[in-house]
Amino acid sequence: MYLLLFLISYLIGSIPNGLFVGKLVGGVDLRQFGSKNIGATNAFRVLGPWPAVAVFLTDAAKGVAGVYLGQYLIGTPLALLIGGIAAIAGHNWSAFLGFKGGRGVATGLGVIAMLSPKVTLVVFIAWALIVYFTRYVSLGSIVAAALVPVTMWLFGEILEFLIFGVIAALFVIIRHRPNIERLLKGEELKIKPGNLGKIDKKEK
């Protein structure tokens, strides 16, 4: 049953929402523009705020679905974690995109929202403040990911959830390794909304 849970949650996580939103909004493949990532940040740069919100919410829903599936099929803390981790893995290494994908931030937040709403609130506020003051989404995501296990420990969450926090943080930070290198070199792009009508074709 655990294997079935992992496979279904992985496939749910693999759904490339950013790719679908880009195609629906303006026939754009997000993998060909900006950072070439299918996540909400690149959708914001290329398409603007509302498509980015759609990508963020649908990606977060994948994490929620993974945890819910674990609760529905088995109901143990371990099952919740397996469902959530599988959804994040599917988003990061999508079976539908040649095992490539996003950074796992929104999907991970969806998982955490199901496991610990208090931690989600703290982490989201930290992310929002960092992005607001620095305009670096990647920096906010990295710091927020690192805060997840720390905040879970401070709130006294059960050991299984704390272990998940560590794993999820590692997922996000490792996926942001190129961003970390650009941040250290001062080459990371700051966030600003895009406009389909003004996309530079040289970005392709």
- Sketch the domain layout of the chain as residue ranges: 2-190
> Among candidates 159, 150, 110, which has minimal Cα distance to 126?
150
Mean pLDDT over 102-126 rounds to: 93
Residue 151 has pLDDT above 50, yes or no: yes
Q: What confidence score (pLDDT) does residue 34 get?
A: 79
What is the average per-residue pLDDT within 22-30?
88
d(CA 112, CA 167): 12
pLDDT digits (tens, 9 = 90+) for 42-64: 899 889 899 999 999 999 999 99
Helix spans in 135-185 (H):
137-154, 159-175, 177-185
pLDDT at 179 over 70: yes
Residue 189 has phi, psi (to 5 degrees) of -75, 140
pLDDT at 92 over 80: yes
Q: Could you tell me the pLDDT band of residue 193, with boundaries at 50, 70 and 90? A: low
Whether the pLDDT of residue 201 is over 50: the answer is no
Residue 33, phi then psi, degrees to nearest 5: -130, 160
- pLDDT greater at residue 189 or residue 113: 113
pLDDT category at 27 given cuts 50, 70, 90 is confident
pLDDT of 102: 86
**For residue 197, is pLDDT > 50?**
no
Does the structure show a pLDDT above 50 at 98?
yes
Closest CA to 39 of 68, 67, 13: 13
Query: If pLDDT is split at 50, 70 and 90, which confidence band does 10 have?
Result: very high
**CB-CB contact of 188 with 42 (8 Å):** no
- Which has the minimum average pLDDT: 24-28, 62-66, 119-123, 127-131? 24-28
- 65 contacts: CB under 8 Å, gap ≥ 6: 9, 12, 87, 110
